[in-house]
Amino acid sequence: MTLEIITSDHLAPLRHGFFTRRGGASSGIFSGLNCGSGSSDQSEIVSINRARVAGAMELEPEALLGVHQSHTADVVMVDEPMTQKPRADALVTRTPGLALSILTADCQPVLFADHEAGVIGAAHAGWRGALDGILGETVDAMESLGAERGRISAVIGPTISQRCYEVGPEFLDAFLAEAPQNARFFANGEGDRYHFDLPGYGLKKLRDAGVGQAEWTHHCTYSDPERFYSYRRSTHNLEVDYGRLISVIRL
């Protein structure tokens, strides 16, 4: 099956993409393009999937860079292939021939580009990372490499939508502690539950950071099992593990 790659006009003509699960070699609950080496999928199959992604980006697999994601606000600047994955949740570079990748399964994958400066970035922004400032930190790191925040385009890829993201009152409290205005990202659910607008909040944080363009592709990971992996959906289905989607941008 052919790989399916979602792209954005704001990032073109740079080669980039939010890959769906279509076109991969994994089977069972991981069926499709599972690129998560941290999953319990066969490592050889994950390597095949990642090689297919690298091929679509027209580079060798070793140039497809990633990080050990842990829901932080830490960003790494890279200028060459890495033998070890640093613990961080975003990468930036101005080195041609390198591809930055992020793995997600409901969290926001965000790709960044300042075309004029030749600086790109990729961030993993779940609710904790977004609240702690990972998106603004990525813009700051790009700026340190010569980007101008007003020229940066940032695109949020497939992520869980508000109608599928039920949370408890303590979750609301964490966001209200940052700013009372964050109440607008929550809708009432049943009982004491709320529905959180993660991509809406992500767009707000990107605009606060001063980027010139910010958009969401409007794809919901939870509600489209044929195209996307979803941690929350897998949990609700009592599955033992879940696949990871990959999002990539390269110079």
Q: What is the pLDDT of residue 82?
A: 87
pLDDT more than 70, % of the chain: 100
| Averaged pLDDT for residues 210-222 | 97
Q: What is the pLDDT of residue 83?
A: 83
- Exposed / middle / buried, residue 31 (Cβ in 10 Å: 0-12, 13-18, 19+): middle
The residue written with tokens 């998560």 in the block is 36
| Residue 90 in this model has a pLDDT that exceeds 70 | yes
CB atoms within 10 A of CB 116: 11
- State which CATH number among 3.40.50.10420, 3.40.50.150, 3.60.140.10, 3.30.1490.20 fits the domain covering 5-161+197-250: 3.60.140.10
| Residue 188 in this model has a pLDDT that exceeds 90 | yes
Distance in angstroms (rounded) separating the CA atoms of residues 16 and 91 = 14
| Residue 1 in this model has a pLDDT that exceeds 70 | no
Q: Which helix or strand (DSSP H or E) is residue 134 part of?
A: helix 134-144
CA torsion 166-168-173-174 (nearest 10°) is -70
Distance in angstroms (rounded) separating the CA atoms of residues 125 and 71 = 7
pLDDT in tens, 63-84: 999 999 999 999 999 998 888 8
pLDDT in tens, 4-59: 999 999 999 999 999 999 999 999 999 999 999 889 999 999 999 999 999 999 99
Extract the tokens encoding 14: 């740079």
Name 159's bridge partners: 220
Return phi, psi of residue 194, to 5°. Answer: -130, 165
Distance in angstroms (rounded) separating the CA atoms of residues 16 and 87 = 23
The size of the chain, in residues, is 251
Q: What is the pLDDT of residue 38?
A: 87
Phi-psi region of 203 (alpha: psi -120 to 50; beta: other; left: phi over 0): alpha
Distance in angstroms (rounded) separating the CA atoms of residues 209 and 142 = 12
